[in-house]
Amino acid sequence: MSDSSSDDSRGALTGIKVLDLSRVLAGPWASQLLADYGADVVKVERPGKGDDTRSWGPPWLQDEQSNDTSDSAYFLSTNRNKRSLTANLAHPDGSRIVRDLAGQSDVLIENFKVGTLKRYGLDYESLAAQNPRLIYCSISAYGQSGSRADRPGYDAMIQASGGLMSITGEPDEEGGSPQKVGVAIADIMAGMYATTAVLAALLARGDDGRGQHLDVPLYDAQVAWLANQNMNFLVGGVVPGRQGTAHPNIVPYQTFATADGHVSLAVGNDRQFRRCMECLGLGELSDDPRFADNSSRVANREVLVHLIAGKFSEQPSATWIAKLGASGVPVGPINSIEDVFSEEYADERQLVRQLSRHDVGDIPTVSNPVRFSGTPVSYRSAPPRLGEHTRSILAMELGYSQEQIVALYEEGAI
């Protein structure tokens, strides 16, 4: 497969087996990260349908004759480096297959509604009894306990109820309204927390050989990563509001309209502020006591932003980016996603790689951003076809005969 020079290198998690019972985004995002770092991930999917996101198109992956396949671009974004096995958990033989695989696994990731897997003997207590080393990671909307534990939840509602939408968008006085982030960031961040929790649990297991149950709620994760906005309220007592692109604690730190578009300015200290004012032809403001330090600039935000905005409007974006950038002032364009992948920098950093699948040829994938010096990220395989590895996993890892496998298909167990 293309662009996969690290395929034969040993990853940080080589030898770790992950059983992925999750679907949509948070769980698959976590398992893809573990797979990138070398773990062997088996993705368990519903027979005939698979992960919900396989059908979340268009756009669809196309084969070499430009015909749509049954896999959406959404599904491709979070399922590389995995093997797909189909199993009907409601069928006794299907759930038995998953139990047997759990007995061989280091990690299990699931995002079923709380209590669902207990009906099939696939809850943490049941599986830990047969495999005490198992790290069992449950991702849910509101966690495994509490008054909301039985509620379902999707990213947009978590962004809303968890506080993010209240600080995202233009303020009311400018005609704004609450907005969600342009990607399912509550899901993604829950997946990131889940990944770090799994890695910590693997490290802890080295002490006593025992796994543990990890409870990762989307809601709690969403609240946790509001970072300084949380503390602004807890310490300052003022409820944060929507400020568009502006920063609640730093000025000037926002987008500005130019003669032909917009730029994003991020002045983080007094030295950068002085250089910025000199570039804008407003050098005298550096000595103005109203703007002498960041706290003063925050207090006099409206006056300063008005003065700066007038200057930015006089010249095109490229001029300001070149001028400010040469002076060490953090500034950048407002790129579209097309712009991001069209720049030479995308090639320089290999932001996109190609993975081969025999039924479609090359499939693009966005690179994992981490660079390891000794255990590199691997790009071993494209997102799998539904059930692509069912037969091989049952035969090679669980010792099923071909006759048994055929019977399981006929019974609807796989």
DSSP 167-224: GSS--GGGT------SS-HHHHHHHHHHHHHHHHHHHHHHHHS---EEEEEHHHHHHH
Mean pLDDT of the region 213-226: 97
> At residue 117, what are phi and psi to the nearest 5 degrees?
-70, -20
Please write the tens of the pLDDT for every residue from 240-252: 999 999 999 999 9
Q: Cβ(365)–Cβ(76) under 8 Å?
A: yes
pLDDT digits (tens, 9 = 90+) for 38-70: 999 999 999 999 999 999 999 999 988 889 999
Q: For residue range 273-302, list pLDDT tens digits in order.
A: 999 999 999 999 999 999 999 999 999 999
Distance of CA 319 to the CA centre of its chain: 34
Task: Provide the pairing of β-strand 135-140 with 68-72.
Answer: unpaired
Whether pLDDT at 9 is above 80: no
- What is the token pair recorded at 255? 């987008």
Model confidence at 8, pLDDT cuts 50, 70, 90, reads low
For residue 252, whether the previous peptide bond is cis, meaning omega lies within 30 degrees of 0, is: yes
b/e map 124-158, b = 16+ CB within 10 Å: beebbeebeebbbbbbbbbbeeeeebeeebebebb
Q: Give the bridge partners for 110, in sequence order.
A: 138
What is the pTM (predicted TM-score) of this model? 0.92
Under a CB-based contact definition with an 8 Å cutoff, are residues 176 and 169 in contact?
A: yes
Residue 208 among the catalytic residues: no
| pLDDT at 139 exceeding the cut of 60 | yes
Residue 63: per-residue pLDDT? 87
Domain annotation for the chain: domains and CATH numbers: 17-225+349-411 (3.40.50.10540), 253-342 (3.30.1540.10)
pLDDT digits (tens, 9 = 90+) for 317-359: 999 999 999 999 999 999 999 999 999 999 999 999 999 999 8
pLDDT surpassing 90 at residue 412:
yes
Which one is catalytic: 20, 36, 187, 215? 187
Report the C-alpha gap between 31 and 33 in whole angstroms.
5
Q: For residue 329, with 0-12 CB atoms within 10 Å meaning exposed, 13-18 middle and 19 or more buried, which class applies?
A: buried
Structural tokens at position 213: 């149950």
How much is the mean pLDDT over the chain?
Answer: 95
pLDDT of res. 2: 38
